[in-house]
Amino acid sequence: MEISNSERCATCYGEGAVGSTHGPQACPDCEGIGFLPSATVLTERRLRELERVYARQGGQVGQDVQWLATEVRRAHHALVQILAASQEADESDAAAAQIRGLANSVLNMYRERD
């Protein structure tokens, strides 16, 4: 499968490996596959990392980050449901097409048609 430059991992240049003092290692950004996963996966990875870092700190900051991560996940889930509902609408429905485009612009689940 040929991947375009826009999909290719910028860290490893699509090779899947980066150099280190211990020799080549799997790229930490693409996990060795040469291209970045979906925006959804990247967002979830970042949320988990933030939760991990701030959970150690505890206190109000840790609770606030946990709350924020939960809200981001809830909003993401709602957008997925909205996208799915808009796809079930008739293709001639202009409002559904606009909703589908707006939801997809955030979720980035499908490539935009040229």
What share of the chain in percent tops pLDDT 70?
A: 92
pLDDT band of residue 110 (cuts 50, 70, 90) is confident
pTM: 0.70
pLDDT at 2: 47
Model confidence over 2-12: pLDDT tens digits? 445 567 898 99
How far apart are the C-alpha atoms of 85 and 109, rounded to whole Å? 14
